[in-house]
Amino acid sequence: GQNIDQPTEMTATEGAIVQINCTYQTSGFNGLFWYQQHAGEAPTFLSYNVLDGLEEKGRFSSFLSRSKGYSYLLLKELQMKDSASYLCAALDSNYQLIWGAGTKLIIKP
Amino acid sequence: ETGVTQTPRHLVMGMTNKKSLKCEQHLGHNAMYWYKQSAKKPLELMFVYNFKEQTENNSVPSRFSPECPNSSHLFLHLHTLQPEDSALYLCASSQDKGGGADTQYFGPGTRLTVL
């Protein structure tokens, strides 16, 4: 079956760096998405990776290893507003998104 | 503001009621989606429309009935729901369905409670 695994919850300190991991098992692969979702709000797009390597966008970076079925989202210089759930989703061979349950990130002062 | 709006934001209904959820996208996209989001579970894809044609129905019970009158509007008609249907219902749109970078843009959702 198809599956996405990511930690349920993580805690980090303001100003620090945190890495949220995601492993996927899908029938074929056409890329991996990360979304941010604040409580009670819509998920918003953060990144899309289809090739191996690291893509940086300001304080956020996303990494992909297709051979390992693994991705991570790296958040630097954490701010209180980064407290949210982070959703990992892989696009399978039918271009259907397979979603993880999300990682709730708690930022402490 | 993502360009996708949903109404109502909150809905409480009894099991015998009939109600409808509405979604509108102002992005000029061709594909629209309904998702169900329950606490601590992955997003569950319910329906997909591409150019107003339904392309996916993921074994959703018939008490949920989608309608897509045009590429900008999507409805979810609800009738005789069960308490386990209580969840956040999210609408999303993307430029196309099937593209490699088919980024979906989400509305704020309707928080549904079935009594």
Provide DSSP, B55-100: EEE-S--TTEEEEEEETTEEEEEEES--GGG-EEEEEEEES-SS-T
Confidence of residue A59 (pLDDT cuts 50, 70, 90): very high
Q: Residue A100: its chain B contacts at CB < 8 A?
A: 42
Tens of pLDDT, residue by residue over B3-39, are: 999 999 999 998 888 999 999 999 999 999 999 999 8
Q: Given A50, A96, A100, which is nearest B42 (Cβ)?
A: A100
CB contact under 8 A, A41 and B4: no
Q: Report the first-to-last Cα separation within chain A, whole angstroms.
A: 40
CB contact under 8 A, A45 and B105: yes
CB contact under 8 A, A41 and B108: yes
CA distance A97 to B90: 15
Minimum Cα–Cα distance from A4: chain B residue? B42
Tens of pLDDT, residue by residue over B81-101, are: 999 999 999 999 998 876 555
Q: Quote the DSSP letter at residue A69.
A: T
Length of chain B: 115
Q: Can you give the pLDDT at residue A1?
A: 78
CA distances from A51 to A54, A65, A76, B6 (A): 9, 8, 22, 34
